[in-house]
Amino acid sequence: MRIPILLASLYLSLGLSQAESRETGESELRPTAEHMAQLVIGRDRKVPNACAVELFVENQPAAQLPGGESVSLEVPAGTLNLRARLKSAGSCDAAGLASGQSILLKPGETRRYQIMLDNHALFLAPQLH
């Protein structure tokens, strides 16, 4: 009689330990506040106002920026792919220009970029403040 009770206890404890590890693993996939970083991206006033500027983070649309405006995004720390693109809007003659780059953000870090246009090339320029 003792052996079946011991075996049942063993199976129960194994099942509970597996459930605990799954819950922990699932929560590790969701970034918490201490695993986040801040990304501030502005649009230079020299980028034509007739063009819509689209910002993508990890190939997902993150924001559209009007002239002279900026956006602040909370993103997971780590390596991120950023891309900015001029989208056709009205009389925009620079539509289709795009730039992209990868950045590495530390948890709690704030990084600032400015979307700029120079010699018909769109780029993300790092900013000090």
| Structure confidence by residue, pLDDT tens digits, 5-49 | 544 444 444 444 444 444 444 445 555 667 899 999 999 888 877
DSSP 3-state helix, strand, coil percentages of the chain (rounded to 5)?
Answer: 25, 45, 30
The pTM of the whole model exceeds 0.75: no
Q: How many domains does the chain have?
A: 2
Same domain, 52 and 80: yes
Look at 81 and 117; give whichever has higher pLDDT: 81
Tell me the H-state helices in the chain: 2-29
pLDDT attached to residue 29: 54
> Are residues 45 and 12 part of one domain?
no
Give the span between the Cα atoms of 124 and 99, in whole angstroms: 7
pLDDT of residue 5: 53
Structural domain for 24, as ranges: 1-30
What is the overall mean pLDDT for the chain?
77
